[in-house]
Amino acid sequence: MANLRDIKRRITSVHSTRQITRTMEMVATAKIKKAQERIESARPYAMSMMEVLGNVARNAKGAEHPLLLEHEERRRVAVIAVTGDRGLAGAFNSNILRMTERFIREQLDAGVEVDLLAIGKKAGGYFRYRGIEPVAAYRDISGNPTFADAKSIAAHVIPAYAGGNLDEVVIMFNRFKNVAEQVPEQYKLLPIRATMLDEAAKDSDVTAEYVFEPDAESVLEHLLPTYVETLIYRALMESAASEHGARRKAMKSATDNATDMIGTLTRSYNRARQAAITTEIAEIVGGAAALED
Amino acid sequence: MGRTLLCEIVTPERIIYTSEVKMVVAPTIDGEVGILPLHAPLVSALKPGEIRVRYGDDEVEWFAISGGYIQVHMDKVIILADHAAIASQIDVERARHALELAEKRMAELPKDAEAEISACEQQLKWCEIQVEVAKKA
């Protein structure tokens, strides 16, 4: 009979687990929506910024800016790893961590020094455990990334790149393709792709003769760092939305698995119960037969 | 009411304000620029300060911004700012509190933490401007 009670206990436990995963799934679903709205509301700024950038670029042709300049030698690079603060989101964090770790190894093997900026508790913990101390670690961002967060991260890399202490800056984050799909991506933030300016300039209104104050070059000098900040901001927001998407998927399959498991367990419970009853009847019948003799 | 301008104030997080207006005054790096309808196309960097928007003869609205850019083209004014707030909606208590916090943190920061110091300075400036502009609402 102990077996029956064991099965019953397991069913109850899987039941309560399923309740938790189902709730987490629903919470994540609600949060995806909010995170998506946030990405949407950042679009007007990004678009206006590209418009201004295009106009400026057209009038500051051939302008040399330290952020556009590619460094000939690669001695030190920075990598920004964007993860979440919590797990239970499938491969969301581990994809980024693995990608970042591989990147760091490759750089170290090539004799290039690496500065790590760990965004999210997961990245900080993972790399510290492996003896790679981040130059800067952020946490509690993934819930609601703000532009101020992005600015603060950018402040670690932009002056360093402009000053020649860094030769490349890449960011690793989960791009939010749609609710069901998140793609880990490695994006080079610095140097800024020179073609980006040409593309932006192509879309600008050629007929307008702009006046620049103080002049196109100085405006460009102000704009480029802001452009990098908006890229980081965007990556943070996409990562936040992806985290909820990944968690929802992970929790959905956990809920489905729990349901399957409860089904299987219930079947074995019933079978065990039936077996017990059959044994009992056989015993009674056997006992009665023994009495008759 | 004659020709008007479409004025848009946008931050990375959202659109703060959009409306038809008569005049916009914004703080550029070298001083102040006043935009009226039919203004020539202009792009300029803005420093932290206040923006005045005029609707009618004496209807004025104030905004605090933490620096950014302005673009004027075809009677459309786009202001891009890191932070922006309508004067009437600034929470003075909160801004004051943030100001104190930033001052305190500033004093504690080590001298070589350049990134933190410049971030802190910007934060300080932004709080000051908010408090300043809120008085005008």
What is the number of structural domains in chain A? 2
Q: What local confidence, expressed as pLDDT, does residue A66 receive?
A: 84
Q: Which residue has the tokens 């600015």?
A: A151
User: How high is the pLDDT of residue A205?
Assistant: 66
Structural domain boundaries enclosing A264 = 2-27+250-292
- Chain A residues touching B15 at Cβ < 8 A: 41, 44
Domain with residue A21: its CATH number is 1.10.287.80
- Cβ burial B49-84 (10 Å sphere, 16+ → b, else e): bbbbbbbeeeebbbbbbbbbbbbbbebebbbbbbbb
d(CA A123, CA A134): 9
pLDDT at A1: 46
Q: Does pLDDT of A2 surpass 70?
A: no
**Residue carrying the six token digits 């206006």:** A48
Compute the CA torsion angle A42, A44, A47, A49 (nearest 10 deg): -80
Q: Is A55 on the interface with B (CB under 8 A)?
A: yes
Assess whether A204 and A75 both reside in one domain.
yes
Q: Is A16 in the same domain as A116?
A: no
Highest-confidence segment of A143-147, A192-196, A275-279: A275-279
What was the ipTM of the complex prediction? 0.81
Q: Which class is domain B5-87?
A: mainly beta
Nearest to A212 among B10, B44, B68 (CB): B44
pLDDT of B85 > 50? The answer is: yes
- In chain A, residues 216-235 whose CB comes closer than 8 Å to chain B: 216, 218-219, 222-223, 226, 229-230, 233
The pLDDT value recorded for residue A88 is 87
Name the residue of chain A whose CA is nearest to B80's CA. Answer: A45
pLDDT tier at A264 (50, 70, 90 boundaries)? Answer: very high
CB contact under 8 A, B43 and A155: no
Q: Same domain for A198 and A221?
A: yes
Q: A125 and A36, same structural domain?
A: yes
Model confidence at B1: pLDDT above 60: no
Q: Do the chains contact at A209 and B40, CB–CB below 8 Å? A: yes
Whether A45 and B82 lie within 8 Å, measured CB to CB: no
Question: Domain check: are A57 and A140 in the same one?
Answer: yes
Is residue A254 domain-shared with residue A202, that is, in the same domain?
no
Contacts of A155 in chain B (CB under 8 A): 115-116, 118-119
> Which residue reads 């970042």 in tokens?
A100
> What's the CA gap between A235 and A173, in Å, rounded?
6
From A15-24, A237-246, A266-275, B128-137, the region with the lowest mean pLDDT: B128-137
B119/A151 CB distance under 8 A = yes
What percentage of chain B has pLDDT greater than the value 90? 14
A104 and A182 belong to one structural domain: yes
CB A200 within 8 A of CB A54: yes
**Residues A70 and A184 reside in one and the same domain:** yes
List chain B domain ranges: 5-87, 91-134
Tell me the average pLDDT across A184-209: 80
Please give the average per-residue pLDDT across A240-262, as a whole number: 94
- Axis crossing angle, helix A147-162 with helix A216-292, rounded to the nearest 10: 120
pTM above 0.80, yes or no: yes
Q: Which of B8, B13, B127 to mutate to test the interface with A (most CBs of A within 10 A)?
A: B13
Q: Stretch A178-204: mean pLDDT, rounded? A: 83
Gap between the Cα atoms of A260 and B8, Å rounded: 55
Is the same domain home to A150 and A242?
yes
Shortest CA gap B17–chain A (Å): 12
Confidence of residue B107 (pLDDT cuts 50, 70, 90): confident
Question: In terms of domains, do A200 and A278 share one?
Answer: no
Same domain? For A189 and A136 the reply is: yes
Q: Are residues A128 and A259 in the same domain?
A: no
* Cα of B28 to nearest chain A Cα, Å: 8
pLDDT digits (tens, 9 = 90+) for A39-58: 999 888 988 888 888 888 87
Q: Is the predicted pLDDT of residue A72 greater than 80, yes or no? A: yes
Instruction: Write out pLDDT tens, residues A103-147.
Output: 999 999 999 999 999 999 999 999 999 988 999 889 888 888 988
CATH number of the domain bearing residue A95: 3.40.1380.10
Q: In the predicted model, what is the mean pLDDT of residues B80-94?
A: 84
